[in-house]
Amino acid sequence: MFKIRGFTLLFVFAWVINVSCYSVSERKNHAEGNISQDKREAVLYRGQLWSATYDNNREVTNVFIPYTVKLGGWFSGLDYSDEQTIKEAASVIAKHTCIRFVERKDEKDYIEFYEDSNNVCESYIGKKGGKQLLSLGSGCKNRGHVTHELMHALGFFHEHTRPDRDKFVKILWDNIKRDHYKQFEIRKRGVTTLGQPYDFQSIMHYSNKEFSKNDKDTIQALSDPNMPLGNVNSLSAVDVLQINLLYNCPEALRQVINYEVTVYTGDKYLAGTDGQVFIELFGQNAVGQLRNSGEEELAGKKSAFEMRSVDRFNVISPNLGKLIKLTVRLTDRGYGGAWYLDKIQVQNRKRRVNVSFPCFCWFGGSSDTKILEPSP
């Protein structure tokens, strides 16, 4: 930790910044490129953090990151729907942190989003300086994957490569495609976890079968081999904490926890939906006070909420105490708007919360909201 003109430099893992200027390349699955760095050079190089604005007390107020989108339409380049997805991903980060992605005016340092013709999803780690390219292949043009790439641009590596990972997960090398071994190597130099817990649910963590050659697990939690790992759809509470610590955001003082929300779509004919799904959790603390998470859209992969699908999300919220109900709202978005929901499971492993909210019901119409209560 270093203090420079009132700014605290926190170099964390995967969570993790402290890098020289290189990019992370991801093709279909998450993959990181070759990386070589010197510990001293990385830790002392403040320029890889995006610049902050300060109040009169030299406390950080915001970090503004300018960006442009290279539009090309149907035949080449990103389109306006991709631009909207980028804005949605940026708003997810802004909701819980002091990070603000803003359209570029004439700033020298900025990110340019473009579509890579080879279907590569690629981002530099941290700030490179000048125009900084961030490519979105066809496989990552959704809110969750764009959020993942923005995390790289902020300065974070993949969670499962942090130095202490072998205390928490097991790598099943025999199941990994040989040309992707490097994506599972530990980063030992120039990094620190800042004492923060290993985050199984991070948007920067690989899923259980990432780069599998035989459809078997490539990575498992030591505490529970069946635990689903990673979350391609949404930030976790620890992701948010690490951003706020890294950039010294005032939001770092907020106390929030992570609720893992698993949505089970039914197997009835036309059960899937193309509509937008929103959720709000409600709880009651030990003295009877009612609390709520605020309504949040569950968005990520374009294949979410299809018939028989099981989709996982993180809802970041203050501790709600005992969960007493939740609301689910479906907003029709054209053809395929109706939806048959089996149930929603809400879990917080640290506090041993695991509550099922059965539905087994149809949603329909231009907007439909239902209140679900816990099963007995």
Task: Compute the average pLDDT of residues 172-196.
Answer: 84
Q: Phi first, then psi: what are they for 101, rounded to 5°? A: -85, 125
What pLDDT score was predicted for residue 53?
92
Distance of CA 65 to the CA centre of its chain: 18
- When mean pLDDT is compared across 1-10, 156-165, 345-354, the lowest value belongs to 1-10
Q: Report the alpha-carbon distance of residue 373 to residue 346 in Å, rounded.
A: 12
Dump pLDDT digits (tens) for 44-96: 356 788 999 999 989 999 999 999 999 986 666 899 999 999 999 999 999 99
Task: Compute the average pLDDT of residues 349-368.
Answer: 89
Annotated binding site for Zn(2+): 148, 152, 158
C-alpha Rg value of the chain to the nearest Å: 21
Q: How many other C-beta atoms lie within 10 A of the C-beta of residue 351?
A: 12
With b for 16 or more beta-carbon neighbours within 10 A and e for fewer, the 192-221 pattern comes to bbeebebbbbbbbbbbbbbbbeeeebbbbb
What pLDDT score was predicted for residue 352?
85
The yes-or-no verdict on residue 180 having pLDDT over 70 is yes
Helix (H) / strand (E) containing 260? strand 257-265
What pLDDT score was predicted for residue 337?
76
Q: How confident is the model at residue 117 (pLDDT cuts 50, 70, 90)?
A: confident
The yes-or-no verdict on residue 278 having pLDDT over 80 is yes
Q: Report the alpha-carbon distance of residue 67 to residue 64 in Å, rounded.
A: 10
Q: Report the alpha-carbon distance of residue 26 to residue 122 in Å, rounded.
A: 6
What pLDDT score was predicted for residue 335?
63
What pLDDT score was predicted for residue 4?
34
What pLDDT score was predicted for residue 43?
28
Dump pLDDT digits (tens) for 240-267: 998 998 899 998 888 889 999 999 999 9
User: Catalytic residues, which ones?
Assistant: 149
Task: Compute the average pLDDT of residues 181-192.
Answer: 81
Q: How confident is the model at residue 120 (pLDDT cuts 50, 70, 90)?
A: confident
What pLDDT score was predicted for residue 15?
40
Q: Single out the residue of 65, 50, 71, 63 nearest to residue 103, CA to CA.
A: 65
- When mean pLDDT is compared across 19-23, 127-131, 323-327, the lowest value belongs to 19-23
Residue 107 structure tokens:
């700033």
Q: Report the alpha-carbon distance of residue 161 to residue 165 in Å, rounded.
A: 7
Q: Report the alpha-carbon distance of residue 318 to residue 224 in Å, rounded.
A: 26
Annotated binding site: 148, 152, 158
Q: Report the alpha-carbon distance of residue 221 to residue 204 in Å, rounded.
A: 15
Q: Structure pTM?
A: 0.81
What pLDDT score was predicted for residue 2?
36
- DSSP structure string for 298-319: ----TTTT-TT-EEEEEEEES-
Of residues 263 and 155, the one with the higher pLDDT is: 263
Instruction: Assess contact for 231 and 313: CB atoms under 8 A.
Output: yes
Tell me the residue type at 1. M
User: If you search the block for the tokens 């993949």, which residue do you land on?
Assistant: 158
Positive or negative torsion for Cα 301, 306, 309, 314: positive
What pLDDT score was predicted for residue 363?
94
The yes-or-no verdict on residue 157 having pLDDT over 80 is yes
Mean pLDDT for all residues in the chain:
84
Task: Compute the average pLDDT of residues 181-197.
Answer: 78
